[in-house]
Amino acid sequence: MGRLTFSGGFHFDRDGKAPTRNESVREFVPESVVIPMCMHLGKPCKPCVQKGDTVKIGQLIGEPDGFLGVPVHASISGEVTDIDYTQQLSAEPILSVFIKNDHKNEWYEGLKGLGDVEKVDPDLIIPAVKEAGICGMGGAAFPTHIKLTFPEGKYCDTVIVNGAECETHLTCDFRLMIESGDRIIDGLRACMRALGVKKGIIAVEDNKPEAVDNLKKLSEGREGIEVKPLVTKYPQGSEKQIIQAVTGREVPQGKLPIDAHVLVINVATAAAVADAVKEGKPLTKRIVTVTGCVNKPSNLLVPVGTTFRDLVEQCGGYSQTPGKIVAGGAMTGICAPGDEFSVTKACGGIVVFNENEAKSLEESPCIKCGRCVFVCPAGLKPYLLKTYTDAGDLNGAQAHNVCDCILCGCCSYVCPARLWLTASFKNAKEKIALAARR
Amino acid sequence: MNLRISPAPHIRSAVSTRSLMLDVVIALIPTTAAGIYFFGLNAAVTVALSVAAAVISEYLYQKIRKQEPRINDLSAVVTGLILGLNLPPSAPWWLPVVGSAIAIVIVKQLFGGIGDNFLNPAMAARGILLASWSLRMTTFYAPTYFKNVDAVTTATPLSAAASAAEATSSATGAAPAYQMPSLTDLFLGNMPGSIGEVCKAAILLGLIYLVIRKVITVIPFVMMISFALFTWIFGGDPLTGLLTGGVMFGAVFMATDYSSSPMTIKGQMIYAAIIGFIIVILRKYGSYPEGVTYAILLGNIAAPLIDKYSKLRVYGEVKPNA
């Protein structure tokens, strides 16, 4: 059998993973947290606590609103000191709940688990996931209970747990696979049982052999689970690309993974599902890779809502003047306006670039080298698309499949003329989506 | 704290336009050195004038048009170098100067500058020089190795073989059959010809370097295979064909020009195969003994069409009738 992979993609010139890869995750609980009411794709939650209330870990503080709503829970025990709008990573300020830590570290009493994932009634699993406030922890933040509920007439035959972690710099998923492999496997089994699916695959890039071995060992004797190493290549962890690599299937244009009869969840999401089902614990903590120009790059297990400033302090402060702070990976992450933003459920890493690295390289004319075409995993011609988006011709861009762009950043990365290809496609996709909604 | 905000991705490859052009210059070093070794000082002067004229033309053009000078991207150096290596060692001083000016101003800049020229600038300039001063462009001499000897004008193996064949076919029977240099001499470059095209060993070194550095991919290979195949089909000797004239130099350094070649691997294969075929046709039936220049120019012209029709399979593409 050939090695599993997808079409397109590339290898990084240099990989930034090394500093955090081989160190254990450290737990850190801050003095206070600021929990945004919107950490998922969908409408913000409505706060259901008052200023001055005392809350415990896992207590509901934000009630979901609307179809895509995901509840928000207190991540530390203590007093609600304020409820106010804060500047997070999106343009609009988000209503957030401020909690001051009382260091009692008490869990909310009302939480009850369902026990062993192999014995629990499958019908109770999805409601438990919903109540635990779980959304995709790989970055997309899509509500997990909705992902697990598919429309009439669709079926799923394979659940893939995404442990590719193809971004440079980030190692939070790798550490999770090494340190909490059993939770990932329990979470996968829970999803398989909830959906009645017989086949579960944990897919990991082959630059993480320790993780592959650990998961293989732990999954021995577990029903229907296979661990598959994938070729190390960016963007292997993209949903469509991991489906292509693992199953050989493609998600039809404009459709969802379920149309390829596959469901993909991130390793951290799977672990959160296990906690929710077994112990009834809501999603209140996650591992975050903090790296780049900080003195002690680390993987930290922190309560949701921990501010980045506290994380940097835990990592020994900045080693150089920061020029750019990116939440997420270096290829797809979002720039932060300052260091006061909160860690959300979907935030797997924060990379600090120094002033020199933060400088934008000067754009020069396209030399028609074709590199963007060779690397595009979606099979597009980015150089050609750019001529349409530059001219503001959205119809032309659409005719050349701009909507199939997965915004992985490959074309921009390899472009010797340093053109902002991905950014212009993102812009075009947003405009097209906006026009379609009108 | 003064933080920059930009869209993703936040890291870029180390490969830039300048680094790619520098790689091409590095790959041309063995070929240039070999040309100077065989043909002496005049070859060195021709190449140097050509490079200098290309860079100066580009700088002046951009200054006059009030554009930002981009000579730092080294693309003009590459154009000048390739044109210089395409000239005969006997070239008078003004030939490389006029050629480089044509390449940069007319072929490259007037069509939009780097990336927008639809013809390879060096190739098109050589084509114009060949049509305008055909005698100057085809006056070759045998290698002199810097020795202080009078250069003796002579025919290249290709033109000698062509006139011998013509003489035979005109049935005078008097023309003595032309004796090709040995394959070793052809390979090492001990033969009359343009400065850069003679030493195939040096060209191969350049090819290996460019492939390892991932500057070029399939074009040279497909073009040489196509050329060898069609030469064989038309009754010639593929190896002698490859080692005479500018096929190898053209395949490695000229057909691979980014802006005038197709953008997809599939398209590049079609393009290179077409060029290989046209060279064979031109060599066999054309009025010139050589056909690489015009074959590549014809390939350049076909490239946009090839790009338009070489469709890529989009991920998740739904077949209309499925």
Where exactly are the structural domains of chain B? 17-309
Q: What is the mean pLDDT of chain A?
A: 93
Measuring CA to CA, which residue among B11, B14, B35 is closest to residue B23? B14
Q: How far is A432 from chain B (nearest CA, A)?
A: 19
Residue B188 CA, chain-centre distance (Å), reads 18
Q: Give the C-alpha separation, A311 to A352, whole Å.
A: 12
Select from B1, B20, B316 the Cβ nearest to the Cβ of A369. B20
| Per-residue model confidence as pLDDT tens digits over B259-272 | 999 999 999 999 99
| Per-residue model confidence as pLDDT tens digits over B127-165 | 999 999 988 888 888 887 766 556 667 778 887 777 776
Where exactly are the structural domains of chain A? 30-111+282-357, 126-279, 371-437
Look at B9 and A414 and tell me if their CB atoms are within 8 Å.
no
Q: Which residue of B has its CA nearest to A368?
A: B259
| Per-residue model confidence as pLDDT tens digits over A349-399 | 999 999 999 988 889 999 999 999 999 999 999 999 999 999 999 999 999
Q: Answer with the residue of higher pLDDT: B178 or B37.
A: B37
Enter the tokens of residue B227. 């050329």
Q: Give the C-alpha separation, B303 to B219, whole Å.
A: 13
Question: Residue B253: which residues within 8 A CB-CB, separation 6 or more?
Answer: B24, B27, B28, B31, B82, B85, B196, B203, B206
Does residue A91 sit at the B interface (CB-CB below 8 Å)? no
For residues B45 and B93, the answer to whether their CB atoms sit within 8 Å is: yes
Q: Give the C-alpha separation, A249 to A243, whole Å.
A: 6
| Per-residue model confidence as pLDDT tens digits over A262-317 | 999 999 999 999 999 999 999 999 999 999 999 999 999 999 999 999 999 999 99
| Per-residue model confidence as pLDDT tens digits over A372-382 | 999 999 999 99
Looking at residue A109, the DSSP 8-state letter turns out to be T
Enter the tokens of residue A275. 């906690």
| pLDDT for position A14 | 79
Look at B16 and A418 and tell me if their CB atoms are within 8 Å.
yes
CATH fold, domain A126-279, is Rossmann fold (3.40.50)
Select from A244, A323, A378 the Cβ nearest to the Cβ of B314. A378
Categorize the per-residue pLDDT at B322 as very low, low, confident or very high, splitting at 50, 70 and 90.
very low
Q: In A, which residues are within 8 Å of B23 by CB distance?
A: none
Q: Which of A7, A14, A242, A364 to mutate to test the interface with B (most CBs of B within 10 A)?
A: A364
For residues B244 and B158, the answer to whether their CB atoms sit within 8 Å is: yes
Q: Which of A294, A308, A373, A383 to mutate to test the interface with B (most CBs of B within 10 A)?
A: A373
Residue B290, CA distances (Å) to A411, B180, B234, B294, B296 in order:
40, 16, 16, 9, 12
Among A231-245, B270-284, B303-317, the least confident range: B303-317
Look at B263 and A383 and tell me if their CB atoms are within 8 Å.
yes
Look at B3 and A244 and tell me if their CB atoms are within 8 Å.
no
| In the predicted structure, residue B204 carries a pLDDT above the cut 60 | yes
Does residue A292 sit at the B interface (CB-CB below 8 Å)? no
Residues facing residue A324 across a β-bridge: A353
Q: In B, which residues are within 8 Å of A168 by CB distance?
A: 11
Q: Which residue of B has its CA nearest to A354?
A: B3
Q: Which residue has the tokens 């903090």?
A: A290
CATH fold, domain A30-111+282-357, is Ubiquitin-like (UB roll) (3.10.20)
Burial A66-102 (b: 16+ CB within 10 A, else e): eeebbbbbbbbbbebeebeebebbeeeebbbbbbebe
Does residue A378 sit at the B interface (CB-CB below 8 Å)? yes
Q: Give the C-alpha separation, A429 to A31, whole Å.
A: 41
Q: Which residue of B has its CA nearest to A325?
A: B3
Enter the tokens of residue A71. 């509840």
Look at A416 and B13 and tell me if their CB atoms are within 8 Å.
yes
Select from A240, A323, A359 the Cβ nearest to the Cβ of B315. A240
| Per-residue model confidence as pLDDT tens digits over B280-313 | 999 999 877 788 999 999 999 999 999 998 888 8
Q: Give the C-alpha separation, A281 to A289, whole Å.
A: 23
Q: Give the C-alpha separation, B251 to B25, whole Å.
A: 16
Measuring CA to CA, which residue among A290, A309, A300, A302 is closest to residue A349? A290
| In the predicted structure, residue B171 carries a pLDDT above the cut 70 | no
Q: Give the C-alpha separation, B194 to B141, whole Å.
A: 9
Categorize the per-residue pLDDT at A218 as very low, low, confident or very high, splitting at 50, 70 and 90.
very high
Q: Which residue of B has its CA nearest to A255?
A: B316
Residue A171, CA distances (Å) to A14, A178, A205, A352, B153 in order:
15, 11, 12, 15, 69
| pLDDT for position A248 | 93
The verdict on domain B17-309 having CATH code 1.10.3430 is: yes
| In the predicted structure, residue A130 carries a pLDDT above the cut 90 | yes
Strand order across the A285-292 sheet: A26-27, A298-303, A285-292, A349-354, A322-327, A334-335
Q: Give the C-alpha separation, B265 to B248, whole Å.
A: 20
| Per-residue model confidence as pLDDT tens digits over B178-194 | 777 888 888 998 889 99
| pLDDT for position B138 | 85
Look at B7 and A337 and tell me if their CB atoms are within 8 Å.
no
| In the predicted structure, residue B170 carries a pLDDT above the cut 60 | no
| pLDDT for position B149 | 59
Does residue B320 sit at the A interface (CB-CB below 8 Å)? no
Q: Chain B neighbours among A 4-33 (CB < 8 Å)?
A: 7, 12-13
Q: Give the C-alpha separation, A307 to B255, whole Å.
A: 56
